[in-house]
C-alpha cells in the first residue's frame, strides 16, 4: 500500500510502515497528509493459540466473573478474546463486575469499539511498566487474567504478582514473524527508505537479518520497541512522544525538521 507524496514536513521522505494494509490505514493517511510516501508491509501476523482448551477454560472463568481484573496489552489480545468468546457463546465476554485494564490508547479503543469500558489506562500508555506502575495494590485474594501473545514478556505478570495478585496468564494468540521479501530487503539495505517506523518489538525481530544503512532513521512507537531495537544493536533515531499514530507522526516530523540531512528523495512537484 503506497500513498502519494504531497507538500509538507515529510515531503521527499519514503517511509516503511511494518503493518498489514488493513491495520495501517490511519498511520498511512497521517503520514501521507504531511507529505511522506508510505509503504505498508505485513511483517507480523497473528495465529490462533495452540492450546485452545486452556484458553477456553480461562474465557469461561472470565465470563462467569471469576477474576477481579482482566488486563489487555494489545488490540490483538482483545480481538482474540472477543472472537473466541463469541464462538463459544460466552456472553458477556467479560463479567460486568470484572474490572478492565488496557495498556494504551489502541488497546483501549479496541475495547471501547466492542462496548467494553476501561477502568485502568496509564496516562503515558504503551508499556507494561506504565500499566503496572498505576495498578492499585491487591486486596486479599484478588486475581487478574492476562490473555497474551506467546511472545509477551514477563514484566507485567511479575509486577502484579509482586503487588499481591494471583495472576493467571493464558496464550490468546500467537505472533508470527514474517521476514520481508528479497526485493524489500534489497530496498532497505540499499537505502531506499528515509525512515522505518517500528510499531512493536516483533517488527524489530522481522527485520533482524536485514542491514539498515545509517542514512535510514529508525523510529519506535514506545519504550518496549526502543529497548528491542537497542538489544538488536540498532540505533534509535527517536521514540514517539506518545505511543500512538499521532505521536509517531509528530515525532518523525520533529526529527525531519532537526535532521534535514536524512532527506534524500526528490520532492514531487
Cis preceding linkage at 92, omega within 30 = yes
pLDDT-derived band at 6 (thresholds 50, 70, 90) equals low
CB 70 within 8 A of CB 95: no
The alpha helices in 89-176, defined as continuous H runs, are 105-113, 128-134, 155-162
The alpha helices in the chain, defined as continuous H runs, are 25-33, 52-63, 75-88, 105-113, 128-134, 155-162, 182-189, 201-206, 223-231, 245-258
Average pLDDT, the chain: 91
The domain ranges of the chain are: 47-176
What pLDDT, on a 0 to 100 scale, did the predictor assign at position 104?
87
pLDDT (average), residues 84-101: 98
What pLDDT, on a 0 to 100 scale, did the predictor assign at position 125?
64
Residue entry with cell 520533529: 254
Name the fold adopted by 47-176: Rossmann fold (3.40.50)
171-230: pLDDT as tens digits = 999 999 888 999 999 999 999 999 999 988 999 999 998 999 999 999 999 888 999 999
CB 204 within 8 A of CB 80: no
31-63: pLDDT as tens digits = 999 999 999 999 988 999 999 999 999 999 999
Amino acid at each position: 500500500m503506497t500513498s502519494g507524496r504531497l507538500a509538507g514536513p515529510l515531503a521527499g521522505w519514503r517511509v516503511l510502515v511494518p503493518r498489514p494494509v488493513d491495520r495501517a490505514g490511519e498511520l498511512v493517511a497521517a503520514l501521507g497528509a504531511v507529505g511522506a510516501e508510505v509503504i505498508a508491509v505485513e511483517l507480523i501476523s497473528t495465529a490462533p493459540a495452540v492450546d485452545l482448551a486452556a484458553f477456553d477454560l480461562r474465557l469461561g472463568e472470565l465470563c462467569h466473573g471469576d477474576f477481579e481484573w482482566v488486563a489487555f496489552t494489545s488490540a490483538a489480545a482483545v480481538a482474540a478474546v472477543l472472537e473466541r468468546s463469541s464462538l463459544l457463546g460466552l456472553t458477556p465476554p467479560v463479567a460486568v463486575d470484572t474490572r478492565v485494564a488496557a495498556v494504551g490508547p489502541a488497546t483501549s479503543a479496541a475495547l471501547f469499539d466492542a462496548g467494553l469500558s476501561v477502568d485502568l489506562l496509564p496516562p503515558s500508555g504503551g508499556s507494561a511498566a506504565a500499566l503496572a506502575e498505576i495498578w492499585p495494590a491487591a486486596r486479599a485474594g484478588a486475581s487478574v487474567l492476562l490473555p497474551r501473545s506467546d511472545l509477551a514478556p514477563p514484566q507485567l505478570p511479575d509486577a502484579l504478582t509482586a503487588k499481591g495478585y494471583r495472576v493467571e496468564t493464558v496464550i490468546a494468540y500467537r505472533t508470527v514473524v514474517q521476514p520481508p521479501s528479497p526485493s524489500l530487503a534489497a530496498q532497505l539495505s540499499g537505502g531506499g527508505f528515509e525512515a522505518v517506523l517500528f510499531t512493536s518489538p516483533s517488527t524489530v525481530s522481522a527485520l533482524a537479518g536485514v542491514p539498515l544503512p545509517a542514512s535510514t532513521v529508525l523510529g519506535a512507537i514506545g519504550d518496549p520497541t526502543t529497548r528491542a531495537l537497542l538489544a538488536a544493536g540498532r540505533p534509535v533515531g527517536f521514540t514517539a512522544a506518545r505511543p500512538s499514530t499521532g505521536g509517531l507522526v509528530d515525532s518523525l516530523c520533529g526529527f525531519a525538521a532537526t535532521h534535514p540531512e536524512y532527506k534524500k528523495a526528490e520532492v514531487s512537484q
